Amino acid sequence: MSRLGLMWSGLFRRRVRTCLTVFSIMIAFLLFGLLRSIADVFSVGVDIAGADRLMVAPKYSIIDPIPYRYISEIRAVDGVEAVTHANWFGGTYQDPRNFFPRYPVTPREYFDLYPELRMPAEQLDAFDNTRTGAVASVALAEKYGWAIGDKIPIEADIWPKKGGDRLWVFDLVGLYSVAGNASAQDVFLLNYAYFDEARQFGEGEVGNFIVRVTDPNLAAEVSRAIDALFENSMAPTRTATEAEMQREMFNQAGRIGLVMTAILGAVFFTIVLLTGNTIAQSLRERIPEFAVLKTLGFTNGGVASLVLGEAVLLCLVGGALGLGVAALLTPWVAGTVENILPGIELGWTIVATGLGVAMLLGLAIGVLPALSANRLQIVDALRARG
Amino acid sequence: MSALVKLNGVSKSFIRGKEELRVLTDIDLSIEEGDFFALMGPSGSGKTTLLNLIGGLDTTTAGYVQVGDTRLDELSSKALAKWRSEHVGFVFQFYNLLPVLTAQRNVELPLLLTKLSRSQRKSNAATALKVVGLEDRADHRPGELSGGQQQRVAIARAFVADPEILVCDEPTGDLDRDTADEILGLLELLNRDHGKTIIMVTHDPKAADHASHVLHLDKGRLVDQVSA
Ligand SMILES: Nc1ncnc2c1ncn2[C@@H]1O[C@H](COP(=O)(O)OP(=O)(O)OP(=O)(O)O)[C@@H](O)[C@H]1O
Ligand SMILES: [Mg+2]
C-alpha cells in the first residue's frame, strides 16, 4: 500500500455515496467536454480571416462557367473593394490519391484578397512573371517534398491543352505560409493567364469570383447588388452568403459562449455544493480515523494533504470519466450536426483544460475539510469516540 | 536498568470555557526500560490523560515528560509526530482500526512513514501479523474480525515499526475473560521476548497481574507504587 492507496481507500468507505459523487462530477465534465468542443467551433470561426469576403458562384451549378468579363462590373458595385477569381483545375499529381486543390488565379489580385497567405515579394513577382509559374503552401511542399525550382507535372482531367495534350508542367516559383491554421488554404495556385491561353476550350471563363467588401456590414447588400447585375444574363450568379452567415455566427458566438459559460457555471456551482457537502460529511464521519493516523505519527500537514488529495482524486476520476464519455460521444454528435455545424471535435486542449478544472475543483472542495483535518486535536477526537 | 520514561512534576489542566479543570497534579514517575507497567484507578482519575502525555499525544500544563534523552515538551508538533512514529505504539480499548483497510494494510499504515520500500513494508506487516497469529486473516477487513482479532491487528500495528514503548489504554476493556487473557499473553510476549516497554491502563485486577509494576491514580495523584 502507498499513500495514494490510502487516499484511494478512503473513497471506498461508502461505495454508493462515492459512486454517486463521481457520477455527478462525471456528468458535469461530460457537459464540459461537449459544450467546450461545440464552443470551440465558434471560436475557430471567429479566427478565420475573411468576414469581409464574398463568393460569387454560378447560380445553378458550381460547374457552370462565369464569364471573366463580369469582373469589371462587379468591381464597379458600391461597397466592393477588390475582386479576383478562381477556377477548379482538377487533374492528378502522380497518383489520384494525392489530392489537393489547384486553382488558376491572377497572382497579385489573389494574394491581395487573401492577406492570410504570406509569401516573399520576390516570389510573388516570379509567380506574376512566369507564365508556367505556380506556388503552393509550405505544408503541401513539405508533404510532397517540393522545393522552389521543381517542375510539377499535373495530368489534366477537365482541362486538356490545345491539341489534346493532357500533361501540364508547372514551375514552382514560390511557397507561401498560411497565418492561422486554415488548412483549407493548402492549395496549389497556377497562373490563370497561361491556363486560359493554353486550354483547349472555355477561354475567358472562370469558376467564381471572390469579392472583398469595404465593410463587412455591407455584405448582404453588396451580394444582392451583384446578383441583380447578372440576373437576366446567360450566367446568373449566386453570391454566397457564407460571409454573411459567418458574420451572424460571430454575433451569436459571443452569446452562445455566454450561455455555455452560464450553464457550466451553474453546473459546477451545484457540483461544488453537493460534492463539497458530501466530502465534508464523509470527513466528519472519519474524524476518529484521522486522529488515529495522527497518533501513528502522521503530521497535521500529512493528514490534511491526505484529505485534500482524496478530494482531488475524486474529482479527477469523475472528470476523466466525464471527458472520456464526452470523447466517445463527440464523434456521434459531430456526425449528427455535421451539416449545420461542421468541425466539432474534442481536442487535447479541452481534455487538458478539463483535467485542470477537475483538479481545481478538487482543491476548492477539499480545502476546508483539509484545514479542519489539519486542526484536529488527537485527544479530543479520540475522546469523542471512546 | 535505566529509566526510559521520566515524568517530572507533571500537571495537566483542561480549560473548558472559563473553567479550568485540573486532571493531573504534580506527578513524578519513572518507568524502567523493559518494564510491564500497569496504571489503575477509578474512572475519571486521569489515567488516559497521563497515558496520552507519555505517548506524546498531548502536552503538559506544567512539568515535563522525558523519554530516553528526549524532552517531549521541547518538540514542535511536527517533531512530536515524527517522534511518535519512531518510538511509541498505541493500543486502544476500541481497536481504532481503519474500517476500509484490510488487516494487512492496517498494520502497514505506520510503515508509510518510514523509508521502507513497498515490498519491505508488505513483508514486515505480514511478519507482525504472524506474531499475533493472524497471518490467515491478512485480507480481512476489521468488520469481518472478532473483537479479539481486531485487537491483535491493532497490537501488530502498534509494534510493526519497532518502537521501544507500547502504550495501551484498557486493551482488554471490551473483551471477554478468555480473549482478554490471550491479549495479555500477547503483550507479555512482546514485553519478554521483544523487549518492549509496556505501559498499560486497566480496570481489571487480573490484567494488572501480568504487569511487573502497578500504580494507582486517584483524582489526578499517584497513590502508591506496588511491585509485583
Ligand atoms: N480533552 C479534555 N477536555 C476536557 N476535559 C477532559 C479532557 N480529557 C479528559 N478530561 C477530563 O479529565 C478527567 C480525567 O479523564 P481521563 O480520560 O484521563 O480519565 P480516565 O482515568 O482515563 O477515566 P476512564 O477510566 O473512564 O477512562 C475527566 O474528568 C475528563 O472529563
Ligand atoms: Mg480512560
Please answer whether residues A192 and A106 qualify as being in contact, where contact means their C-beta atoms are separated by less than 8 angstroms.
yes
C-alpha atoms less than 13 angstroms from C-alpha of B169 in its C-beta half-sphere: 23
Q: Which residue's C-alpha comes closest to atom 29 of ligand 1?
A: B44
Sequence-ordered list of residues with C-beta below 8 angstroms from that of A251, at least 6 positions apart, any chain: none
pLDDT at A179: 75
> CB–CB of A295 and B84 under 8 A?
yes
> In this structure, is residue B213 part of a structural domain?
yes
Q: Which residue's C-alpha comes closest to atom 18 of ligand 1?
A: B46
CB of A383 closer than 6 A to ligand 1?
A: yes
Per-residue pLDDT band for A46 (boundaries 50, 70, 90) equals very low
Q: Which helix (H) or strand (E) holds A18?
A: helix A15-47
Q: Which atom of ligand 1 is nearest to the CA of B21?
A: 5
Query: What's the average model confidence in pLDDT over A2-27?
Result: 86
pLDDT at A178: 82
| Pocket probe mutation, ligand 1, options B18, B40, B47, B60, max atoms within 8 Å of Cβ | B47
pLDDT of residue A316 exceeding 70, the answer is yes
Closest CA to A300 of A228, A191, A378: A378
Please answer whether residues B184 and B210 qualify as being in contact, where contact means their C-beta atoms are separated by less than 8 angstroms.
yes
pLDDT at B193: 92
CB of B227 closer than 6 A to ligand 1?
A: no
Name the residue facing B96 among A13, A288, A300 (closest C-beta).
A288
Distance (Å) from the alpha carbon of A293 to chain B's nearest alpha carbon: 8
Per-residue pLDDT band for A48 (boundaries 50, 70, 90) equals very low
C-alpha atoms less than 13 angstroms from C-alpha of A240 in its C-beta half-sphere: 18
> In this structure, is residue B17 part of a structural domain?
no
Name the residue facing B93 among A5, A379, A386 (closest C-beta).
A386
Which residue is it, cell 470561426? Answer: A45
Sequence-ordered list of residues with C-beta below 8 angstroms from that of B171, at least 6 positions apart, any chain: B91, B92, B93, B151, B155, B183, B184, B187, B200, B202
CA A311 to CA A7: how far, in whole Å? Answer: 9
Query: What's the average model confidence in pLDDT over A178-185?
Result: 63
> In this structure, is residue B155 part of a structural domain?
yes
pLDDT at A45: 46
Q: What phi and psi, each to the nearest 5 degrees, are found at residue A228?
A: -65, -35
Question: What cell numbers appear for B220 in the block?
Answer: 489526578
Q: Which residue's C-alpha comes closest to atom 25 of ligand 1?
A: B43
> In this structure, is residue B68 part of a structural domain?
no
Name the residue facing B109 among A288, A296, A299 (closest C-beta).
A296
pLDDT tens column, B3-48: 899 999 999 999 888 899 999 999 999 999 999 999 999 999 999 9
Q: CATH number, domain at B200?
A: 3.40.50.300
> In this structure, is residue B5 part of a structural domain?
no
pLDDT at B146: 94
pLDDT at A365: 87
- Listing from the earlier edge strand, what are the strands of the sheet with B3-16? B19-32, B3-16, B62-67, B70-71
Percent of chain B scored above 70 by pLDDT?
97
pLDDT at B65: 96
pLDDT at B158: 95
pLDDT tens column, A122-138: 999 999 999 999 999 99
pLDDT at A47: 44
Q: Which atom of ligand 1 is nearest to the CA of B203?
A: 25
pTM over 0.90: no
pLDDT at A258: 73
For an interface test with B, which of A299, A300, A380 has the most B Cβ atoms less than 10 Å from its Cβ? A299
Which range among A93-107, A154-168, A340-354 shows the weakest confidence by mean pLDDT?
A: A340-354
Mean pLDDT (chain A) is 85
> CB–CB of B92 and A300 under 8 A?
no
pLDDT at A252: 57
pLDDT at A323: 95
The number of domains in chain B is 1
Q: What phi and psi, each to the nearest 5 degrees, are found at residue A53?
A: -110, 140
Query: What's the average model confidence in pLDDT over A161-188?
Result: 84
The verdict on B228 touching A (C-beta cutoff 8 Å) is no
CA A111 to CA A105: how far, in whole Å? Answer: 9
pLDDT at A38: 78
> In this structure, is residue B159 part of a structural domain?
yes
Name the residue facing A298 among B81, B86, B121 (closest C-beta).
B81
Domain that residue B108 falls in: 34-62+76-227
Question: What cell numbers appear for B219 in the block?
Answer: 483524582
Encoded amino acid at A76, one letter? A
Residue predicted with more confidence, A62 or A266: A266
> In this structure, is residue B97 part of a structural domain?
yes
CB of B195 closer than 6 A to ligand 1?
A: no
pLDDT at A245: 46
pLDDT at A6: 87
pLDDT at A276: 77
The verdict on A16 touching B (C-beta cutoff 8 Å) is no
The segments of chain B whose pLDDT lies below 70 read 1, 224-228
pLDDT tens column, A71-111: 999 999 999 999 999 988 989 999 887 888 899 999 999 99
The rounded Å distance from CA B49 to ligand 1 centre is 6
The verdict on B16 touching A (C-beta cutoff 8 Å) is no
Highest mean pLDDT pick, A17-31, A35-49, A226-240, B140-154: B140-154
pLDDT of residue A49 exceeding 80, the answer is no
Q: Which atom of ligand 1 is nearest to the CA of A379?
A: 1
> CB–CB of A297 and B52 under 8 A?
no
Please answer whether residues A297 and B81 qualify as being in contact, where contact means their C-beta atoms are separated by less than 8 angstroms.
yes
pLDDT of residue A304 exceeding 90, the answer is yes
Which range among A167-171, A237-241, A372-376, B25-29 shows the weakest confidence by mean pLDDT?
A: A237-241
